[in-house]
Structure 1
Amino acid sequence: MTRRLLMLMGMACTAVLAQQQLLLRQRPRLINLVPQQVQSGSAALDLQFSRPMDRLSVSEATRLKPAIPHQWLGEATPLRMVLDADAVLEGPIELFLAGEDQRELPLARQQWWWDPRPWLMATKPVEGGEQLQLQTRSEGWIPISRVWPAILSVVPLGNGEGIAMVVQNQNGTEQVWWEQLRPRSIASSQATLGAPTRRNTEPLLKREVLFAHLSSNLNGDLLVQSGGFRPGSHQVLLVQADGQRRTLDLKPSGPMQLLPAGGGVVMPTSNGLTLRALETSEQQPQILPGSRELGAFCGASGRAVLIRHWPDYRRSIELVVPGQAPKQLHLGDQAVLGVACDNRGERIWAVLGRWEQHSGQHELVLISAEGELTQRKALAPWTLKAGGPVQWNPVTNQLLMTLTQPEQADARAGLFDADSLQIIKVLSAPIGEAQWLPAG
């Protein structure tokens, strides 16, 4: 009996050793490709392998077409490919992937297509109300939501996998809905690249609300701030990218914004702006006193642009760098209607407005991190739609704004070159508001 047991144990050990040798001789495999939002470049891609890879080998053997300047980061797996910050794309990238693992076994050569350019989406008037639509690469429009009597606000998730909306029902009350999307920015053939497809539509809140404010970060988390019809019905709900939901015990005095990199939220209070951690922590909240509002986050760099309101009705634009006092970049009597900044907070765009003889005169300006006004462009005959965002797209280096004219009932989407501030085009289709949807 003992002899038979020893024989069986020996056979099992032999099988395990043989399996180990077989696994050691197997070539590495690519497991996953995941786009990432970074502040150090215009776009990034994480590559997960079955084996620790030799980064230098992968870097030397892999080719991009067109030959976009890029760099490789990481030590084994995953590796991250980051396109240079000044790289501007006009089409998808063809990726010829190759290299060796740390045992010098080659990865099977393969071809992928990657299109990190965001999608232009807009609320459009249609029969029966409004609908959220996406502009295709051929400049057509496709619906990505049902038709609602009115779409009051839209927030795309930072990972490109969904869109949250505050909509109005037939009875005039508001609801919060979630359009879940399936991105198609990475494919093994160019023919299968395309616009994201609708995966699921569901209400984020089961009840009607009096008001709702939405915010998302680059991870795809969503903050839903809502108030009901009864006193004390205010609620702050965090919907994480993995589907988990948490109710946060926060009582802000205005709309909150998630930090782009995750982990925190900017919350307005009666004394200024407060930065709080989402997780319970002994760390005291950071407070920035004064009559300030958050204008824009600068990617995941931790920098942000604030708009400060002074008692004499002047407005200033401030750049906030972590660990430093706010730096004033602009001060004047013009209204600051919208701001945006690049990922590193080195370029700040602002739309300034002045009203003369009952008409608005809007101007787009470019300001450096040192406060130097480097470019300015009058928007006439256009004006920025009241409350409309100014959004910068790092992949194509373009600004997107919702523009209006006095004689037009509907707005238009306007694209601007982020360096020269020249208008690239104003789309002819009437819209309510335009935004970028990350490629995901």
Structure 2
Amino acid sequence: MNARLPFALALSAGLVLIQQQILLRQPPRLAALSQQPIHSGSAALDLRFSRPMDHTSVSTDSRVVPALSHRWLGTNNPLRLVMDPGEAITEPVQLELAGEDLRQKRMVTQTWWWEPRPWLVVTRQVEGGEQLQLLDHDGHWRPLSPVWKQITKLTPIGNGRGVAMVSSDGEAREKIWLRHLKRQSLAQQRQLLQPPQPEQLELLAEKEVLFGHLSSNLNGDLLLQTGGFFPGSERLELIKANGQRQSLNQVSSGPMELIPSGGGLVVPLYDSLSLRPLVDNGRPAQALPGNRELGAFCAASGRAVLIRHWPDYRRSIELVIPGLAPRQLWVGEQAVLGVACDGNGERIWAVLGQWSGDRGIHSILLLNGEGTPLKQQPLAPWSMKGGTPVQFDPVSRQLLMTVIQPNKRDSHPALMDAQSLEWRRILAVDVGESQWLSP
């Protein structure tokens, strides 16, 4: 037995060496392809290979169809493909991936199809109440929920894997739901690209609540802020992307928001706005004094846009850059109904409102990161529905709003060109709210 042991060990080592040589002689291959939510461009993919690749070879030999401006980032493995901002993507992108590894062995060319455009989700008015629906890129509406009396909140999950919502029975009793979705935005054949497919409908809060506020980050975490029918029944819970739940102990004066990159949340207080970590790290919280509210995150840069309310009833729009004092971009007596920004915080859109007689007049203002007005356009004959957001999509270069007309009850999803501020399309469906869902 002892005489055979050295022979067995030598044989095993030889087999491992032979296997290594066989693997080294094989061409490199693409091991993983995934969409990257935080990036400096309009859309991005992360590519991981079986072996370190030559960056220049991959960049030169791979093709993007249509020929959109793009960049390859990274040293050798993994690499990131970033679509440059400024050019709208109006159709699925075809990728022909090729190149050599560091040993100059060529990868077999692979063809992939990628759908980087977001999906439009709405709470649509239907017979019997409201229903969550998704509009696919062929113009078809797809139901994602049962019909409830009312849907009071709509929050797409940041990684595109679901939509959270709050349903109401019309008598101040609410339930919180999560519709899980299966993403199919990457495929090796174009016909296999499909809109998100509905999966499990999960009830997130077992008991009915008096109110529910939801927030999500790009990691796919979901924050539940709820209040019951009795004093002291308020709850704050974090549901992580993997399904784990964590109770949080945090007091606020209003709705809290998760920061896009994860790890923290924005907490409104009566005299300030505070940025706090989800896990106590022993450091003092960062706070901005004054009556401020969060307007929008500029996810790629860590910047944010705030709306400040002054004692003399003026409002101002501020850009917050990490490590610097807030930069005031605009101040005036008009109401700031909603704001949006691009990923770098270099373009900021604000919907402003003022009253003329018995009706509100709304306009949209485009500013740069220094506060210089670039363009302003009236929304007439439309106005933005109160309590709904304005959102920017860097892929299609569009703004999304929910709009209404004076003396009419119907409200509609509306798409606007982010540069010219001209309407592209106003959909002829009656909705409560409309938002983007990441692919």
TM over 0.5: yes
1:127-276 pair list within 5 angstroms: 127-169=127-169, 172-276=172-276
Cα distance in structure 1, aligned partners of 2:162 and 2:411? 24
Q: Residues 96 and 39 of structure 1: is their aligned pair in 2 closer, same or farther, counting only changes over 3 Å?
A: closer
The answer to whether the Cα contact below 8 Å between 2:172 and 2:210 also exists between their aligned partners in 1 is no
Aligned to 1:68: 68
Preserved CA contact (<8 Å) 2:328 2:371 = yes
Q: 2:273, 2:287 within 8 Å by CA — same for their partners in 1?
A: yes
Distance 2:147 2:100 in 1: 51
Change (3 A) 1:68 1:362: same
After superposition, give the CA deviation of every residue in 1:166-200 in whole Å (9 maximum; x if it has no partner): 11137651011001101111111111112100121
Secondary structure of 1:270's aligned partner: coil
Q: Distance in 2 between matches of 1:21 and 1:175?
A: 59
Cα deviations across residues 125-147 of structure 1 (Å, max 9, x unaligned)? 11221111111112121111221
Aligned to 1:36: 36
Partner Cα distance (2:335, 2:359) in 1: 14
Aligned length: 439
Output the CA distance in 1 between the equivalents of 2:314 and 2:4.
92
2:114 matched to which residue of 1? 114
Superposed CA deviations along residues 402-434 of structure 1, whole A, max 9, x for unmatched, are 000123212011111101101111111111111
The answer as to whether partners of 1:307 and 1:318 remain within 8 angstroms in 2 is yes
Q: TM-score, structure 1 length as denominator?
A: 0.97
Q: Which amino acid aligns with 1:388?
A: T
CA distance in 1, matches of 2:368, 2:10: 72
User: Aligned-pair distance for 1:359?
Assistant: 0.7
Matched to 2:246, the amino acid is: R
- 2:363 match: secondary structure: strand
Query: Letter of the aligned partner of 2:72 in structure 1?
Result: W
Cα separation, 2, equivalents of 1:390 and 1:93: 27
1:317 counterpart residue number: 317
Which whole-Å CA distance do the structure 2 matches of 1:395 and 1:24 have between them?
Answer: 39
1:142-167: CA deviation from partner (whole Å, max 9, x where unpaired): 11122111100100011111111011
Does the 8 Å CA contact 1:73/1:80 hold for their aligned counterparts?
yes
Matching of residues 355-394 of structure 1 within 5 Å: 355-394=355-394
RMSD (Å), alpha carbons: 1.3
The runs of at least 4 consecutive aligned structure 1 residues that moved more than 3 Å come to 169-172
Contact 2:73–2:79 (CA<8 Å) still a contact in 1? yes
Q: Is the 8 A contact 1:39 1:344 kept in 2?
A: no
**Separation in 1, partners of 2:279, 2:29:** 37
The one-letter code sitting in structure 2 at the alignment partner of 1:311 is: P
Q: Structure 2 unaligned segments of length 5 or more: list them.
A: none
| Matches of 1:172 and 1:292, distance apart in 2 | 28
Alpha-carbon shift at residue 261 of structure 1 (Å): 1.1
* In structure 1, distance between residues paired with 2:6 and 2:292: 77
| Aligned equivalents of 2:12, 2:412: Cα separation in 1 | 71
> In structure 2, what residue type is equivalent to 1:344?
N
Evaluate the alpha carbon distance shift between residue 329 and residue 171 of structure 1 in structure 2; reply closer, same or farther with a 3 A threshold: closer
> CA shift at 1:39, angstroms?
4.0
Q: Where do 5+ consecutive residues of structure 1 fail to align?
A: none
Which piece of structure 1 moves more, 224-233 or 412-421? Answer: 224-233
Return the alpha-carbon distance in structure 2 between the equivalents of residues 324 and 170 of structure 1.
Answer: 45
1:161 partner letter: R
Whether the 8 Å contact between 1:403 and 1:412 is mirrored in structure 2 is yes
TM, length-normalised to structure 2? 0.97
Rate the CA distance shift 1:169–1:76 in 2: closer, same or farther, 3 A.
farther
TM-superposed deviation, 1:6 = 2.6
